[in-house]
Chain A
Amino acid sequence: MTQKRVTQHPVLEVPKGEEVPFTWNGKELTGRTGEMISSALFANDIQIFGHHHKDESPQGMYCANGQCSQCLVIVDGLPVKSCMTPLSRAMNIQSVEGLPKVPPEDTPQAFDPPEEIQTEVLIIGGGPAGLSAAIELGRLGIDTLLLDDKDRLGGKLVLQTHKFFGSVKDSWAGTRGFEIGRILEDQLKELDSVKVKLNTTAVGVFSDGIIGAVQDNRYVKIRPNKLLVATGAREKMLAFPGNTLPGVFGAGAFQTLVNRDLIKASDRVLIVGGGNVGIIAGYHAIQAGIEVACVIEGLSEVGGYKVHADKLERLGVPILTNHTVVSANGTDRVESVTIAMRDENWKAVPGTEQTFKVDTVLIAVGLSKVDEFFLKAKEWGMDVYAAGDAQEIAEASAAMFSGKIEGVKIAKALGKYDNEIPQEWTEKAAILKSRPGKAAQRPAPPQETGVMPVFHCFQEIPCNPCTSVCKEGIIHTENDAITGLPHVTDPSLCKGCMNCVAICPGLAVTLVDFRKDPELPIVTLPYEIDRGRVEKGNTIILTDVDGKEIAQAPVKSLITKKKYPGTLLVQVKLPKEIAKKAVGIRVQEQPFPAEEVPDTSALPDNAMICRCERVTAGKIRQAIKNGVRDMNQLKAISRSGMGACGSKTCRPLVWGIFREEGVDLKETTDRIDRPLFVEVPFGTLAGTKGDK
C-alpha cells in the first residue's frame, strides 16, 4: 500500500527517515524511525486509535501536542501518547480498547529520588517567545534553563511554511516560519549561560516554588528564581454533533502532521474558521497536495489577513462567511460534514444546509492561552512572567517581541540590566498585534510602458518586506509606516529585479513588463504549490485578486531566485488590459459539489463538551437549567473536566453553554485548576531505576 505521506513539497524538504517495521494490532506495517507513532499510523491510513471505555466511541488524534490523551495507544503493553512517542523498530503497537490493563510486573523496584535543579531563570517553552527571551538573557550571561516538550526547538514556528509578515529588520519578515525557528536556535547556541532541555515536559507548578518536569521518564524538580511561561496557545474546540469523530481536529494539529511530519493526513478537508490559522492551514493543505472543500467563517467577514484569504481564494478555495457547522457525519470517522448559513443567534438556518464529502474537518475558531503555569505560579506568589501567546494571543512575530521584552524585564528584576526596556520594542510589539485595517481598493499605476511591480495588497497589516528588498528604493509604504499600503514612487526607475515579487509573504506582488511587447506584457506571478502543474508550456488558469478567472495562458518561463527558493516565479504573457489584474494561479479548478444532505436530526445537545469523560452538551445544559452555577459542582456531578486534559478543552465550551442559557457569568464560579497539568507515571515520580 502506498503510504499517506507528502512525497513532494514546494517548500519543505521531505525527510528520508529509515524505514522500520512495526505491528499494529498484530498487523505488520512500516514507518520511519524517529517519527511520532501517531504519524506512522496516519501514514498507514490508520486514524482510529481505540475506543473509549465509557461509550466505545472511536478515539483518534486531537491536539497532536501532548496536551490531551485522545491519541493513546498501547506500546509493548503500556499506554502512551502516540503524538509524543517516537516510533522505533519492531514496536508492538495496539489500539486502546476500553481501559488499559496494568501489566503484572511485580519485581521490587530500586529508586533514585528525583533530582532538584536550581536556576536563575526557567523558561517553559522553546517557541518564538521563549527563544527570543532566552537569547536576551543569554546575551546578558544570565543562568537560564529552557524546557521544551518536543524533540526540537521552534515551537509552532516549525509548522509555518509561509513567509512571515512584519518587517525584515525586526522580525525576519519574508522569511518562512520554520527558517526563523532555526535562526533563533542558531543564535541561542552561541550563548553559554542558556541550557536547553528538549523532550522535557513541565507538568506542574507547586506552592513551594518548584516546577516539576519530566525528561526521559525522569522526574526533575526545578527551583527557579524567576519563571517565564512561554507555553503558547491551545486550539479552541466547537460543540457540534460528531465533533469528536476521528478526523475532526485542530488546524494546528493538522499542521503538525502535515508540515512537521510530512504526513498526508487527509485527502480532502473542510476548514471551520476564517482567521489566519484556518486560512493558512488551508494553504498548507494545498501545498501538501490535500484538497480543501471550503473554509467557513461564522462572521460576515474573514478575521484573518485579507492577503492570506485572497491567496487561498485564488487557488480555488471558496470562503463562505456567515456559515456554521451543523454536524460531522460518519460512523467510525468523518465521512462528510454538513454546514449551513447561520442566523443572528448563531443557529443554522433550515434549508441552507450543504454537505461536503471530506475525511477531515479542521477547527480553527481561535486559540486560548496555555496559562495554567502562569496563573498557578502567580497564585503561589512566585516571580513569574509570561510571553508570547501565553501572555496574549497574537502572531508569532509579536511573540518574538514580547519574548525579548519579558526576557529583559527579568534581567532588570535580577539587577543584570540597567537601561530601560527599549520603548521601540513595546511599540513594535503593539503594531504587530494590531488588527488588520479596512480593505481599500487601490487602482494599479496607469503606465503601460517599462516594467513595474503591481501591488495586490489592499489591507493595512504590519508588513513591509517589499520596501526593504527594492534595490532602487522606489517601494514605499504610506508615510513609511509598517502598516501602510505599498506603492512605487517612480516606476521609471524599476529594473524588474523581481525581489518584491519573491519576498511578499502574501504573494500579492506581481511584475508587469511592457518592455518587449506593450500589447502582450510579461507578467511574473509568485507560486508556492505543486510545481508539476506549472511546467513550461502548461496552460494555467489566471485569476484576479479575489480568485475570479480572468484568463488562461501557457507558462512562458519559470524563475527561481536563489535567495527565495520556495517561491517559484511563473511568467506568462497576457493582454495589457488584464495584465495588471492577474495575480493568482488556480489550482483547484472546480468547486467541490455539495452532496445530498444526510439526516440532520442529530441535536446540538449531542455535541460532546468534555471529550475525555464523554459529557454531552445536553447533560451540561440540564445541570445549568437545574440551577448549577459553580463549575466545581458541575464537575462533581457530571465529571466534565475530570479527564486527562483537565478541562483544557471543555472549559470554554462550558462557558459557552452558560451564555447560551442566559446565565450572567457573574453568578458563576470558575473551576479550580490543580497540578498536574500533564499526567506522570508513579514510577517516574518515585524515581524508579529498574528492578532491584
Chain B
Amino acid sequence: MTKKYDAIIVGAGSTGVPTAMALGELGVKTLVIDSHPSPGQGENKHAIGGIRATHSDPGKIILGMRSLAIFSTWQETHGDDIEWLKGGYLFPVYRQEEEAILKGFLPTQKEFGLNIDYVAPQRIMEIAPGITKEGLMGGTFSPEDGSASPLLAINAFYRKALATNNVTFRFKEKVTAIAQAKGRVTGVITDQGAYSAPVVVDAAGPFSRELGKLANIDVPVFPDCHEGAITEPVKPFFEAMVVDLRSAPGSKNYYFYQSRHGQLVFCITPDPPILGTDTRETSVFLPQVAKRMVELMPRLKNIRVRRVWRGLYPMTPDGSPILGWNRDLQGLIHATGMCGQGFMLGPGIGEIVSRMITHQSTTNDNRVLDEYTLYREFGGKEGLQ
C-alpha cells in the first residue's frame, strides 16, 4: 500500500525545504523527496548567501521582503544562528549606463516601500572601504538587505520542518514518474516506492524540465553554470554585498561580500552563459573574477582564496521564477526557475505555496502568482538579474 500525504514536494533545496516548513506549520502532511543524501545538497549549498528585496519587479520585491523578514528575525524567533548579517546591497556606479539602469528601478522599488537610495561616492567609499575612487559616480545602497549562510539556514529550516511532525524527508531517492488520474496528480513514483498525494510541488530547480517531462509538461527551465568561491577569513572591513553590474570580456556582473566569519564569498556571471548542468570547476573563473575584484578594490589582492565551486542557475527565458498551479494537470504546483535566487526567495515562496495548498492565498500572493505564471509571455527580461 502506498503511503498517503497531503502534499509531496520534489526537491529538498532552497525552495522545497522552506515550503515543507511552511506546510508543516499549517498542519499539511508533507513528504519531501530528493536524490541527494541531505537537505540543500543540490544548488542551495552553491549559493553565496546574498539576500535582498532590491529587485526590479514587483513580484520579487514582495517575495524578497517577506524572505528578508524571515531570515533577519530567524535567530530571535527560533534560536538558531543562521549567520544573518544586515550589511545592505551596494551597486557602485562608474558609467552612465549603470546609473540609468539603477535610477530607473528606484520609483518601483520605493513604491513597494524598499529602503533604497542613490548615494554619493563619499558614502560608497564608507560602505566599501578601498573601492576604486577614480571614476566612481555614486550608486544605490539598500541597507535592509543582507546575507546569511545557506548551509545553516537550510538546516535550520529542515529541523523546523521536522519539528512540526508533519513533514517527512526521503533522501537518496529519485522521482521516476508523476502518478495521475483523470487529469489530476495522485502522487509520485520513485526508484524506491510510490507515494500518493493530491498535490505535488515541483521544487526541482535546474531539473524541473526533466521532472515536467515525466508529465508531458514543458517547464522552460534551462540551467546554466556559475562558479563561486570563498576566501580565508580576515578581520571584517565591510558588510555590504557589492555588486558591480558592468560587463567585461568574458563576464557580466560579479558580486561579493564578507560573511560573518570574515570570509569573502564571490561569484561572477559568465558571458556568454555556459549552458548545461556541468558542476565541475574550471580554471577560467578564478583569474577572471580575481582581476575584476582587485581592479575594483585593490586591497583584496592580499586575501587568499580558499575554495571554489560551480553551481547551476535554473534559468527561465525571462529571468523570473515560475510559480503557480499547472492548468493542464490539476494538483501540480510549479515553484521553480529561481534563476540563481532560490536561496533568497525560498522562504517567501514557501509561504505562498503553503497558502495555495490550504486555500488561503492573499491579494499580494495573487499578484505574485499572476506575474510568475507558467502561462505568461516569456518575452521580457528581468532587469536586476
B-contacting residues, A652-692, CB 8 Å: 669, 674-676, 679-683, 685-688
A675 & B302 in contact (Cβ 8 Å cutoff)? no
Chain B residue at smallest Cβ distance from A668: B37
Q: How many residues of B contact A (CB 8 A)?
A: 48
Residues of A within 8 A of B151 (CB): 635-637
Cβ of A105 within 8 Å of any chain B Cβ, yes or no, is: yes
CB-contact partner of B291 in A104, A111, A207, under 8 A: A111
Distance in Å: Cβ of A8 to nearest Cβ of chain B: 40
Cβ of A206 within 8 Å of any chain B Cβ, yes or no, is: yes
B301 & A679 in contact (Cβ 8 Å cutoff)? no
B281 & A206 in contact (Cβ 8 Å cutoff)? yes
Chain B residue at smallest Cβ distance from A381: B280
B305 & A681 in contact (Cβ 8 Å cutoff)? yes
Q: A111-B291, A633-B155, A637-B155 are in contact. Are A676 and B45 (CB under 8 A)?
A: no
B307 & A676 in contact (Cβ 8 Å cutoff)? yes
Residues of A within 8 A of B74 (CB): none
B235 & A100 in contact (Cβ 8 Å cutoff)? yes
B298 & A107 in contact (Cβ 8 Å cutoff)? yes
Chain B residue at smallest Cβ distance from A212: B283
Query: Which of B128-136, B185-193, B314-322, B370-378 is found at the contact surface with chain A?
Result: B128-136
Residues of B within 8 A of A101 (CB): 234-235, 237
Q: A109-B298, A206-B283 are in contact. Are A630 and B306 (CB under 8 A)?
A: no
Cβ of B26 within 8 Å of any chain A Cβ, yes or no, is: no
Q: Which of A98, A114, A682 has the most CB of B within 10 A?
A: A682
> How far is A550 from B51 in the complex, measured between Cα atoms in Å?
77
Distance in Å: Cβ of B245 to nearest Cβ of chain A: 20
> How far is A69 from B286 in the complex, measured between Cα atoms in Å?
21
Q: A105-B299, A644-B306, A682-B303 are in contact. Are A113 and B132 (CB under 8 A)?
A: no
Chain A residue at smallest Cβ distance from B153: A636
Q: A208-B283, A380-B280 are in contact. Are A681 and B303 (CB under 8 A)?
A: yes
Complex interface bits, A368-396 against B, C-beta within 8 A gives 1, otherwise 0: 00000000000110000000000000000
A674 & B281 in contact (Cβ 8 Å cutoff)? yes
> How far is A103 from B287 in the complex, measured between Cα atoms in Å?
21
Complex interface bits, B190-205 against A, C-beta within 8 A gives 1, otherwise 0: 0000000000000000
B309 & A103 in contact (Cβ 8 Å cutoff)? no
Complex interface bits, A179-213 against B, C-beta within 8 A gives 1, otherwise 0: 00000000000000000000000001011101010
B40 & A688 in contact (Cβ 8 Å cutoff)? no
Q: Which of B38, B231, B278, B303 has the most CB of A within 10 A?
A: B38
> How far is A48 from B277 in the complex, measured between Cα atoms in Å?
47
A679 & B305 in contact (Cβ 8 Å cutoff)? yes
Complex interface bits, B131-168 against A, C-beta within 8 A gives 1, otherwise 0: 01110000000000000000110110000000000000
Q: A53-B233, A111-B291, A630-B37 are in contact. Are A681 and B281 (CB under 8 A)?
A: no
Cβ of A106 within 8 Å of any chain B Cβ, yes or no, is: yes
A680 & B305 in contact (Cβ 8 Å cutoff)? yes
Complex interface bits, A86-120 against B, C-beta within 8 A gives 1, otherwise 0: 00000000000011111111111101011000000
Distance in Å: Cβ of B214 to nearest Cβ of chain A: 26
Residues of B within 8 A of A78 (CB): 302
> How far is A106 from B298 in the complex, measured between Cα atoms in Å?
5
> How far is A99 from B299 in the complex, measured between Cα atoms in Å?
16
Q: A646-B307, A681-B305, A682-B305 are in contact. Are A633 and B232 (CB under 8 A)?
A: no
Distance in Å: Cβ of A235 to nearest Cβ of chain B: 22
Cβ of B284 within 8 Å of any chain A Cβ, yes or no, is: yes
Interface size class of A (residues with CB under 8 A): 35 or more
Cβ of B382 within 8 Å of any chain A Cβ, yes or no, is: no
B283 & A102 in contact (Cβ 8 Å cutoff)? no
Residues of A within 8 A of B305 (CB): 676, 679-682, 685
B-contacting residues, A191-239, CB 8 Å: 204, 206-208, 210, 212, 219, 221
A679 & B234 in contact (Cβ 8 Å cutoff)? no
Q: A210-B283, A637-B152, A644-B232 are in contact. Are A109 and B130 (CB under 8 A)?
A: no
A99 & B235 in contact (Cβ 8 Å cutoff)? yes
CB-contact partner of B130 in A104, A114, A210, A683, under 8 A: A104
> How far is A667 from B168 in the complex, measured between Cα atoms in Å?
19
Main secondary structure of the interface of B (DSSP, over half): mixed
Cβ of B58 within 8 Å of any chain A Cβ, yes or no, is: no
Distance in Å: Cβ of A179 to nearest Cβ of chain B: 37
Residues of A within 8 A of B291 (CB): 111, 113, 685-687
B235 & A219 in contact (Cβ 8 Å cutoff)? no
> How far is A687 from B293 in the complex, measured between Cα atoms in Å?
12
Q: Which of A629, A632, A635 has the most CB of B within 10 A?
A: A632
Residues of B within 8 A of A207 (CB): 278, 280-282
Residues of B within 8 A of A632 (CB): 37-38, 41, 45
Q: A632-B45, A636-B151 are in contact. Are A113 and B287 (CB under 8 A)?
A: yes
Cβ of B384 within 8 Å of any chain A Cβ, yes or no, is: no
Residues of B within 8 A of A12 (CB): none
Distance in Å: Cβ of B55 to nearest Cβ of chain A: 27
Cβ of B294 within 8 Å of any chain A Cβ, yes or no, is: yes
B-contacting residues, A587-634, CB 8 Å: 628-630, 632-633
A100 & B155 in contact (Cβ 8 Å cutoff)? no
Cβ of B300 within 8 Å of any chain A Cβ, yes or no, is: yes
Residues of A within 8 A of B235 (CB): 98-102
Distance in Å: Cβ of B131 to nearest Cβ of chain A: 8
Cβ of B262 within 8 Å of any chain A Cβ, yes or no, is: yes
A102 & B294 in contact (Cβ 8 Å cutoff)? no
Q: A106-B130, A629-B37 are in contact. Are A682 and B283 (CB under 8 A)?
A: no
> How far is A527 from B306 in the complex, measured between Cα atoms in Å?
48
Q: A109-B301, A682-B294 are in contact. Are A102 and B281 (CB under 8 A)?
A: no
Residues of A within 8 A of B134 (CB): 108
Residues of B within 8 A of A107 (CB): 298
B304 & A680 in contact (Cβ 8 Å cutoff)? yes
The 3 A-B pairs with the shortest beta carbon distances in the complex, nearest first, are: A683-B301, A207-B280, A636-B151
A-B contacts, 18 listed (Cβ < 8 Å): A79-B232, A102-B234, A103-B302, A104-B299, A109-B294, A207-B280, A208-B282, A210-B282, A629-B37, A633-B37, A636-B154, A637-B152, A646-B307, A674-B309, A676-B286, A679-B231, A685-B305, A686-B293
Interface, chain B (partner A; CB < 8 A): 37-41, 45, 129-130, 132-134, 151-152, 154-155, 231-237, 262, 278, 280-284, 286-287, 290-291, 293-295, 298-309
Given A69-B232, A109-B294, A674-B281, 16 new contacts (CB under 8 A):
A98-B235, A102-B300, A104-B130, A111-B294, A219-B287, A380-B280, A632-B38, A633-B41, A636-B45, A644-B306, A681-B305, A682-B294, A682-B300, A683-B301, A686-B291, A687-B291
Interface, chain A (partner B; CB < 8 A): 53, 69, 78-79, 98-109, 111, 113-114, 204, 206-208, 210, 212, 219, 221, 379-380, 628-630, 632-633, 635-637, 644, 646, 669, 674-676, 679-683, 685-688
